[in-house]
Amino acid sequence: MGLLLTVLGVNIFMISLAFNTSPGLVRDDFYETGKRYSDELLKPKAESPYLLKMNVPLLKQNLPATITVNLLDKASQQMVEGGKGVLFVYRPSDKNADFELPMTQTDNGLWRVDVTFSLPGLWDMIAEVQVGDATVNQPYRIQVVQ
């Protein structure tokens, strides 16, 4: 009988702890954001004449790191001239940690951004480059270590 009461007590405690500490949905517009993201992932990559590649170093908490992004023309494999780049960074468990940074173009088809992560754990990044009427983006999931 004592064992049964202990198990029930622990279960009740764990359930109440889950309700009291759950972050729930971390975005107010979660549905629209998820739908846009899914639509982007479902678009055939063949539609875009460009190829976006991200070079991400080992990321450590509170240490600056440089992320580089290359934009290539699929047909000629040459760097693409012009454009504007932005890096969107999302923390799946805390919307208050989300941020975006403009990328600096250092050469034709080459962008860089210096970033510092204040929290360890999983992050989602989307590098987005606009060239003329075309928008090219590349999602990337990263792990920031302590």
pTM: 0.66
> Which range marks the domain in which residue 101 is found?
43-145
Please indicate, yes or no, if residue 25 is contained in any of the structural domains: no
The residue that leads in pLDDT, 137 or 19, is 137
The reported pLDDT for the residue numbered 101 is: 93
- Count up the domains in the chain and report the number: 1
Please indicate, yes or no, if residue 14 is contained in any of the structural domains: no
- CA-nearest of 20, 103, 117, 93 to 68 is 103
Please indicate, yes or no, if residue 129 is contained in any of the structural domains: yes
Please indicate, yes or no, if residue 140 is contained in any of the structural domains: yes
Task: Give backbone dihedrals phi and psi of 58, rounded to 5 degrees, phi first.
Answer: -65, 125
Average per-residue pLDDT in the chain?
Answer: 82
| DSSP, res 125 | E
- What's the CATH code of the domain at 129? 2.60.40.1930
Q: What is the pLDDT of residues 90-143, one digit of tens each?
A: 888 777 888 899 999 888 888 999 999 988 988 889 898 888 777 888 888 889
The SS3 of residue 26 is coil
Please indicate, yes or no, if residue 16 is contained in any of the structural domains: no
What is d(CA 136, CA 2) in angstroms, rounded to the nearest whole number?
62
Q: What is the pLDDT of residues 43-95, one digit of tens each?
A: 655 577 788 888 889 999 999 999 999 888 777 777 777 778 899 988 887 77
Q: What is the pLDDT of residues 22-41, one digit of tens each?
A: 555 556 666 777 777 777 66
